[in-house]
Amino acid sequence: MNVIIEMHQVDLSAVDLNLLKLFEALVRERSVTQAGLRLGLSQPAASRALGRLRTMLGDRLVVRGKLGLELTPRGEALAGPVARLLDDARGIVSPAVFNPASATGRITIAAHDHLSSLVLAGLIARFERHAPALSLHIAQPAGDNVRLVEQGAADLALGIFGALPGSLYRRSLYTDSLVCVVRSAHPIVAGGLSLENYVNLRHVTVTISGMGESAVDVALSALGLTRHVALRVPHFLAGAMLVADSDMILTLPSRLARRLAEGLPLMLLDLPLQVAPLSPAMIWHERFHGDPAHAWVRQQLVDVVASFNTGG
């Protein structure tokens, strides 16, 4: 028999949704006593709750049968929807779980070439090993990349940041210092790099964000000195390749300098100038702070950076 039941608007504030848990237990146990035990209720308390449930739903829902309680037609009709509703509710309130092995989607990181060069190989190796279906995208840099993270165009950004909006989190990754690189056969190598020599050489500089003076120029200015910038480029790799084929000099972070010197004929020299250490960090928006997938990616970055010190 097919029966069409007209549904009426119900004020949920007057509905005790906890009673649906009793109904679910009654469907499973077919006993008021056993249903009560499942929910931690005494038999009298379970009976009173059943009375309220019947009033709320306007039906007896269960009646006595030969083998225990039997569902009325309305009880039969409600059993499936109530079970699904409660399962959905449990899913909503259960902690989110991230399984890297089955994760799909794309993580977008905003980073300039020097930080990408240092962390990408280790990060993608971890993705391949632990999260093979998760892809990685490096966003086109936009200034210091803070706005990309604020606007949701990037999940994370790597860089050296000043003051940040209150909606962003920051975690320092490591501490670095500046060094100089010249071609291996550069005449300056034999005599050593003094501050006077440094200022008089022709410099390649890398413009990363395009905002403000570099730390080197600020330190030189404090001494009443300036350097001759012969060439400005947007990428450290391009700068290093040009230095390797000329008598120019490039000042850059030491970790990156060592990495580039592995593949280019470059010599590392100490910077003859006091400049504050560099503190690269990663930043992310507060809306992703508690997300387990993003937390996992952030931890992978921390582990990659930690491997710098162990050679892993």
In this prediction, residues 74-82 reach a mean pLDDT of: 92
The verdict on 37 and 74 lying in the same domain is: yes
Q: Among 166, 167, 145, 165, which residue's Cα sits nearest to residue 156?
A: 145
Range of the domain at 85: 12-93
The verdict on 188 and 220 lying in the same domain is: yes
pLDDT of the residue at 13: 65
In this prediction, residues 207-236 reach a mean pLDDT of: 86
Contact assessment for residue 126 and residue 300, using Cβ atoms and an 8 Å cutoff: yes
The verdict on 157 and 302 lying in the same domain is: yes
pLDDT of the residue at 211: 54
pLDDT of the residue at 208: 74
For residue 2, tell me if it sits in a domain.
no
pLDDT of the residue at 309: 65
Q: What is the CATH number of the domain that holds 66?
A: 1.10.10.10
Give per-residue pLDDT as tens, 229-260.
999 998 899 999 999 999 999 999 999 999 99
The verdict on 162 and 295 lying in the same domain is: yes
pLDDT of the residue at 224: 96
Give per-residue pLDDT as tens, 186-206.
999 888 899 999 999 999 999
The verdict on 30 and 84 lying in the same domain is: yes
Q: What is the CATH number of the domain that holds 197?
A: 3.40.190.10
Give per-residue pLDDT as tens, 146-194.
999 998 889 999 998 989 999 999 999 999 999 999 999 999 988 889 9
CB-neighbour burial class of residue 139 (10 A; exposed 0-12, middle 13-18, buried 19+): middle
pTM for the complete prediction?
A: 0.69
Query: What total number of domains does the chain contain?
Result: 3
Q: Among 256, 234, 1, which residue's Cα sits nearest to residue 116?
A: 256
The verdict on 171 and 300 lying in the same domain is: yes
* pLDDT at position 88 over 90: no
For residue 262, tell me if it sits in a domain.
yes
Residue 257: both structure tokens together: 């300098």
Task: Please say which residue of 71, 93, 115 terminates a domain.
Answer: 93
* pLDDT at position 299 over 50: yes
The verdict on 130 and 163 lying in the same domain is: yes
Give per-residue pLDDT as tens, 15-70.
788 899 999 989 988 999 999 888 889 999 999 999 999 999 999 999 998 888 99
Q: How confident is the model at residue 87 (pLDDT cuts 50, 70, 90)?
A: confident
The verdict on 305 and 186 lying in the same domain is: no
The verdict on 284 and 156 lying in the same domain is: yes
pLDDT of the residue at 181: 97
| 10 or 206, greater pLDDT | 206
For residue 3, tell me if it sits in a domain.
no
* pLDDT at position 7 over 70: no
C-alpha distance from residue 23 to each of 2, 43, 299 (Å):
23, 15, 44
The verdict on 298 and 263 lying in the same domain is: no
Quick one: how far is CA 43 from the chain centroid?
Answer: 50
The verdict on 155 and 284 lying in the same domain is: yes
For residue 5, tell me if it sits in a domain.
no
